[in-house]
A and B are shown apart, each in its own frame.
Chain A
């Protein structure tokens, strides 16, 4: 395949950036999107140019490092991560636009790489169960009904990639935050800190400069792990409940 790529290039957080056009040839349909970028980068290095910077690590769709907006869609046209998107979903001769996540809370650090540390700070605000090592009771002391365990798991699948924020027309982080609130909130182990967790995490989310939620639903459509949109409503319920009790 032969493709035209228009990629956002920006040397660092302060410098201005722009879309640059590159041509790549001999792209195999079996390549992943990132392998296609590897090919471009190998060529750039040999031309003495700096390769396109992008975050990536496991390339199995689970670490959440990779993420770029491909033709206006977070992680591209398939519901998966960019590393698991294959070039067979594009056609020979296509022009593909590649941009970084765009959000005030995710400043670009270089090219397609953004700073997602805001997510870490949201977790630090309360996305945990206080269970110091060694203090745990016997695992079977508290049975967890299977439906609750399944709900917890469905939300715990979040990989923290940030596609929800990138896809949201308002740059909101509600789906990310709600995934953790609901993961821990649906388990008995998470119950004692339920109220402070949701209040503190939402406070931190707001403080990071994410946009507000207007329930556009783009986040859940883009989420490679399928975190469901009602997750947001469930967090609102938690939030209202915690606010009442405060």
Chain B
């Protein structure tokens, strides 16, 4: 108990400022920044090495582009091929302010929607840049041969997504992420073949090497041989994705993990807004304790499906036997103007609320119906099949239920993390020479990400932002060789090998997954869709105990000198056990509700999320001081000159 209070009694340090963001009119800032950036002479670029960790949309595009510019790139991924990074699973689409529909879209509107959608917790400068670049991304991807959906005239098709009023979402059936990722992977493959990218698949970054305050390399483990190696560079780029897997059950890939960002955090990179996590309302509910991950179904289902639960708690009749007047179409009832299309966070919380009342359906009462009976009656089965056929098929395969004749069951799941390593306008963390891109940084989405914006941000960072800003850093920091015998290198390697040894030598009685599951459940209950002070205190009391138990009781069979998937898992869970604590602390300190962060205590009279701009219009960047020790909070004040904060209302 004493420890817990110590952790909660964090101190507030010096405010953070983003020194790289130029001022002046917002639409000119990115141009100005690029013009003021120093350049590296093309002839000197091949002498400069950049490490890129991760090969998703952000990492893949960054590695390819940096190599095209002439830098020497050393790239890593834990998968057996760079093509498997989890960006591959994104379904919906990618936003771009092309205004091909002539429906009133513009860079400014995309900027406005993103700042507002993020519930005013993102930087205006960054978001505007993102909106500007969005159009170039589409051009780039088309040139690479990404097969976007097209109209009969041969031009690109777009659709409206996530309740936005313009059609700015480009898509490739339900596999947009896959197609964009393959585009980046192929660009990267070209550079690998040309010898400009040294690719290390099945190699996992386990720590960051910081020498004299600068990020100069990483320590990584070859997952096949178990070999631990250090790699040195002039700069390190983390493109390792989000930390949604801290919840165990999420829509992330099974091996997605927070180790790279957490190790960087431990080495001095501030972690921003860790409590901003996004819940996706339309996932397939869990079917039992064996569940290993959750599968998302595109949000577009809510365009035609109606969400309901039985009016009576404990009504376990099959859905077809529940008469119309004993059903509660709760979203349509509570939010008459938006109905089933309310934003993700609202739809998710409403689902949790009805399930908490005992009106949930399916195994364990953790689900609500998404009913297409009306849509089928209205448009005919063929039209529904045309629009949602592949999703219905996926649902039927997983649940063995026919969604054409029986309403689907859905439940919210952790999907995306807006929080991440704090970065400045140049995407550089608080450790000079360490950059974070894509979902790994705290990003441009504020407290809530809009649909089809993750792909946009990952590719904007990788193709266009980082290659411009990283050059400036390299130009200002001339190359210096790293002494492989530098004490900092030895210390880092030793820290890694020690930890692995500790995991391997402990002959406990619990499996890595058993800890992961327990941690995930705790977080989901206390730091999931809605959070309370009491619940967060409870979690903050339990996490250190669980961590202690982990190091006492963990069992990892096998050796470190070979492929050992249990070891990989256990090592990642060890970091999740520390990150979870920071998430809860961040959630506890932010007593307002905003975006994906909902504090039961902070509600309007109607029970909706109440933001507190007076007190919380800032980015919370946490500085690490030691495991279980209270971190230091650094606030970066947010300033809104172009989009004025308003309270969201969907009733």
Contacts and interface: CB of A to CB of B under 8 A. Distances in A.
A30 interface: yes
B140 A131 contact: yes
Interface string B137-157: 011101111011111111110
B189 A128 contact: yes
Contacts of B65: 132-133
A120 B189 contact: yes
Given A35-B290, A53-B563, A187-B147, A63 B463 contact: no
Given A50-B558, A116-B81, A153-B172, A38 B185 contact: no
A140 B138 CA distance: 10
A224 B118 CA distance: 38
B68 A63 contact: no
B399 to A, nearest CB: 8
Contacts of A123: 83, 185-186, 189
Contacts of A49: 557
Contacts of B255: 56-57
Given A56-B254, A153-B172, A64 B84 contact: yes
A129 B186 contact: yes
A143 interface: yes
Given A57-B255, A120-B81, A153-B173, A144 B154 contact: yes
Contacts of B153: 143
B513 interface: yes
Contact of A59 (B98, B190, B253, B400): B253
Contacts of A119: 81
A156 interface: yes
Interface in B140-180: 140, 142-145, 147-156, 172-173, 175, 178-179
B81 A30 contact: no
Contacts of B84: 57-58, 63-65, 160
A189 B145 contact: yes
B193 interface: yes
B278 interface: no
B572 interface: no
A139 B142 contact: yes
B80 A115 contact: yes
Q: What range describes how many residues of A lie at the interface? A: 35 or more
Contact of B565 (A35, A53, A156): A53
B244 interface: no
Contacts of A146: 150-152, 154
B38 interface: no
B89 A131 contact: no
Interface string B24-61: 00000000000000000000000000000000000001
Contact of B68 (A31, A58, A133): A133
A84 B511 contact: no
Contacts of B535: none
Contact of B513 (A38, A65, A144, A153): A38
B397 interface: yes
Interface string B391-413: 00000011110000000000000
A9 interface: no
Contact of B81 (A135, A139, A160): A160
A145 B88 contact: no
A45 B566 contact: yes
B643 interface: no
A176 B273 CA distance: 43
A48 interface: yes
A140 B156 CA distance: 7
Given A63-B84, A136-B142, A183 B288 contact: no
Contacts of B562: 11-12, 110
B193 A62 contact: no
A59 B288 contact: no
A45 B511 contact: yes
Interface in A1-53: 11-12, 28-32, 34-35, 38-39, 42, 44-46, 48-51, 53
| Top 9 closest pairs, chain A to chain B, by CB | A143-B154, A128-B186, A136-B143, A124-B193, A131-B143, A30-B287, A136-B139, A153-B147, A152-B147
7 contacts: A59-B292, A117-B201, A136-B144, A139-B138, A143-B155, A146-B152, A183-B145
Interface of B: 61, 64-65, 68, 79-84, 86, 88-89, 98, 100, 136, 138-140, 142-145, 147-156, 172-173, 175, 178-179, 182, 185-187, 189-190, 192-193, 201, 224, 253-256, 287-288, 290-293, 295-296, 397-400, 463-464, 467, 507, 509, 511-514, 555-558, 562-566
Given A38-B292, A63-B86, A137-B139, 8 more contacts: A42-B514, A45-B566, A58-B86, A113-B563, A120-B81, A120-B189, A144-B154, A145-B154
